[in-house]
Amino acid sequence: MSIIKQAIIPEHIRQALKQSGIKIKKYRSPVSVERDLTRFIKRNEVLHLSTYQKNVVRSTPVGYRSKGLTFYILSEGGGKFANLKENKRVAFSIAEPYSVDDDFWGYKGLQAWGKARVYSRIKNPDLFKEAFKAMGLRVGAKKLKLKDLSPYFNHKIIEIVPVRIKYTNPREGVYRITWEAS
């Protein structure tokens, strides 16, 4: 069972939100937070994945798919895999564009921390196929099949299971909520 923590809103911020017509939700259960998180995650496509090795952090924007709160990234290579060999702990963020000039309260995004697993098409074909299926990839109107992947690359899928997610989206009633897996 996961847990949630909702930040206490300072009075001056509460008043500013009220003046802007914003009513912040009071979450009663992790399920309601997970529902809002899933809705936000589904309407976005890019996350910024941070991996770490030997005191160097690497941040890479990548396309993703999700199933519930589990994230999948298909990639043919890069420095992130060298980092993931050394350290399976990752962090990432997802944000939607906004203009502070147009809407000060329009910012929305999440930060997450979790553990990653890498499935290689060559070394872990069964796990790779299972994760590929979970991704439900589509390219245009055509469904991407395993056989459509170039044989010249050892494609890999990174599966990320978050242990903590911080989410804020004032216009949709979310102010600094933290979800944690138990």
Q: How much is the pTM?
A: 0.90
**What are the structure tokens assigned to 8, written together?**
């206490």
The count of structural domains within the chain is: 1
The string of pLDDT tens digits covering residues 21-61 is: 999 999 999 999 999 999 999 999 999 999 999 989 999 99
Domain coverage including residue 127: 3-180
CATH number assigned to the domain comprising residue 164? 2.30.110.10
Average pLDDT over residues 97-119: 95
Contact status, residue 112 vs residue 161, Cβ threshold 8 Å: no
Total residues belonging to the chain = 182
**What are the structure tokens assigned to 57, written together?**
């952090």
**pLDDT at residue 138 in the model:** 60
> 3-23 burial, b for 16+ CB within 10 Å, e for fewer?
ebeeeeeeeeeeeebeeeeee
